[in-house]
Structure 1
């Protein structure tokens, strides 16, 4: 066994498997101000643009949950929201003019809470998609995030009529005391009718988010939430382990999360329960039912294709440059970044000022992480076709996953299986490059 393989095995055996959630790579805390501003036209000139993904960030909420470290501010003034949407319009115009010929294969509207927008504001946002960016809403898979306290019949009707395919709502827990402990006030008498109403709209994909590891949560209460969740027949359920992150309310209150043993137990309970009830595991967090006729983008590949982000903290990806506005968690710093965004003029949107350049090594690591941590797994031949090297030679630690029976290989594809998926956060964290890891460690939370 090589030294690196031995070190990796010991790391997997001895390290708390609940590391940070690596939903993108490189992590946003590795972003910095570029030494020179990058012109968007030049940045996108040689990129493939036939199957881009579009993400719009709405950084407003009615309330901010105590575990949340997302870029969002609660109780914004109405004139700020309206001004923000005007700047989204301006940014979209610059993007359109900078990209040339392009097509979006999918889109997502997240936050924050996009359903914080009223109907007039939603109409304005979707008009930007259709009239400025040419998104064919009826034939482009789109996702929209809502919260229990901001969604209603009028908005559901609007979203359904505008072709939204996936509606996602964060419940976190159906136990009122548990929800309250993480800053959510959602009485059962309100939640059940709301979820029944959402189900009646028959969005092709209806997603529920739940959290395990909440202080005071037990195996019994966790199972009760899971049982309640499937009563509403969601097509997707995300199970998130609770992390207490810097500058969140939980962090400030010095709330300690439940230890690895109980979170591992709760994870297994959730996984086994959902698989028994017809849900297939797509990742450590995502469980999905197969839905006949579901419209999925066969064009977009998250490992290879680009992304356009609109709004504050919305990331854009080219092959070797990722960029966005700055990131913050605390209310004053989030507010300052939003104020800076709404003060921008057209010329300010023509350049990328903040982000990271990806080395070839980091591009390989991104492909590896975005493939291996999903059920579809890592296609070694496709990797070699892109980068011209053998993935097992580039990352000999992969053999350790096979030897530990955390992964299997079949027809040239390596997939995590069984307990392997439970190690996803640990595995993902290991494959962060030393250079990116150093930037993340040097980042000062604000």
Structure 2
């Protein structure tokens, strides 16, 4: 069994999105009434593209190009503000990419002020931003603090120089150490550090070396990501895309997870480990994350508005991404939806189960029954099979949650819940992009 089929960070995947006509955001903004929803801004710029990255981001864009991108945001936000419900107050604001801190301090200041001016953020809004070691300096770190940032996430991936070189990262262990020390000393509510396992030649000893150095910095969270190599990424072009050993990767996961739990971190998903301290990290509390909505600013982020999920067309090449950014810059009407998916009742149920089941404390059978009018295990009998296999367990408060073994199989379990319709659309996208015979790690033969 291949444990590593697909990371189900959202559902449906963007490869299931299609062109849409006669769909307007205004008809779905009612899903953002009140508080508790999220605002997301995508800054699709990086100094360089990491060897494994297939995200919507482009390297080599200069300051003037990024300024021109920022120029568009007030116009987009003005149009969105006109159709937002009057009661909308965003409880969280996330800035992702890309590497948002590639922007210089003046650009970051401009971005924060524009969003504060044009979007309704809660007074004590959780503000989250991503960074990389080479882009993290004291001036920017202090600016983030001044603008109320509560969580900073930085991708280190490894403290082993040979592993960083293999991954195509452009920082070294010394730079990562310095940046992490700066962030953990700034007094943010939450600092997260990301690491990758599953590299060819990586050992439990080398992984634990990186994690020991990470723990010594006392971050509030540590994320452990298995390595996925998708078609088109630099690792593939460099001839490093051999199918990775699922069993070996699984053993590395077990070593890393066991160590972090020994060091006082609670595991709340396959990837996320949170320091035991009554965490105040954004997202640390229980959430019905299948119900909340999100509005995306910029180009490349996804909006989740009830049945409507929308995003720019899924692109993985630099040329395609720059084309989407150019269309974004020239766009006049940001409220007309041109690409996305309208979820059926079945897909809404599947999304809720996938999103809730893969995190602790799991999925509430009572909440599912109240919201969908059906029993969870009758709607998804495969859950009973997973209970018999020891991957799921029922807790005393009527939650179904993954066992320790089930948690380690999250990237196998999640994809089993993909509907046949979404699976078909994903396969159509694979075929249309010349990837029908894609058996690289992370791509299930069924997908």
The alignment's TM-score, normalised by the length of structure 1, stands at: 0.93
Closer/same/farther in 2, CA of residues 316 and 300 from structure 1, 3 Å limit: farther
Distance in 1, matches of 2:182 and 2:80, equals: 37
Contact 2:192–2:222 at 8 Å: present in 1 too? yes
Contact 1:48–1:305 at 8 Å: present in 2 too? no
Q: Shift of the alpha carbon at 1:296?
A: 4.4
Q: Shift of the alpha carbon at 1:133?
A: 0.4
SS in 1 for 2:299: coil
1:59 aligns to 2:54 (yes or no): no
Distance in 2, matches of 1:160 and 1:276, equals: 31
2:244 equivalent among 258, 270, 273: 258
Which residues in structure 2 correspond to 1:3-42 (within 5 Å)? Answer: 15-34=1-20, 36-42=21-27
- What residue number does 2:179 align with? 194
Distance in 2, matches of 1:94 and 1:420, equals: 44
Distance in 2, matches of 1:110 and 1:184, equals: 18
1:274 aligns to 2:260 (yes or no): yes
Distance in 2, matches of 1:396 and 1:293, equals: 35
Contact 1:49–1:306 at 8 Å: present in 2 too? no
Q: What's the CA shift string for 1:212-235, capped at 9, x where partnerless? A: 011221121111111111111111
Closer/same/farther in 2, CA of residues 301 and 105 from structure 1, 3 Å limit: farther
Distance in 1, matches of 2:350 and 2:421, equals: 12
Q: What's the CA shift string for 1:257-285, capped at 9, x where partnerless? A: 53011101000001100000001111011
Q: Shift of the alpha carbon at 1:166?
A: 0.5
Which residues in structure 2 correspond to 1:13-412 (within 5 Å)? Answer: 15-34=1-20, 36-45=21-30, 48-101=33-86, 102-136=88-122, 139-255=124-240, 256-292=242-278, 294=280, 296=282, 301-345=288-332, 348-410=333-395, 411-412=397-398
Contact 1:375–1:415 at 8 Å: present in 2 too? yes
Contact 1:92–1:310 at 8 Å: present in 2 too? yes
Q: What's the CA shift string for 1:356-388, capped at 9, x where partnerless? A: 010111000000001110011010110111111
CA RMSD of aligned residues (A): 1.6
Q: Shift of the alpha carbon at 1:88?
A: 1.8
The alignment's TM-score, normalised by the length of structure 2, stands at: 0.92
Contact 1:181–1:215 at 8 Å: present in 2 too? no
Closer/same/farther in 2, CA of residues 317 and 188 from structure 1, 3 Å limit: closer
Q: What's the CA shift string for 1:19-54, capped at 9, x where partnerless? A: 1111000111101101x2312222224654432201
Q: Shift of the alpha carbon at 1:302?
A: 2.2
Moved more, 179-188 or 38-47: 38-47
SS in 2 for 1:69: coil
Q: Shift of the alpha carbon at 1:204?
A: 1.1
SS in 2 for 1:140: strand
Number of residue-to-residue matches in the alignment: 428
Structure 2: any 5+ residue segments left out of the alignment? 435-447
Distance in 2, matches of 1:424 and 1:189, equals: 33
Distance in 2, matches of 1:394 and 1:73, equals: 42
SS in 2 for 1:308: strand
SS in 2 for 1:149: helix
- What residue number does 1:5 align with? none
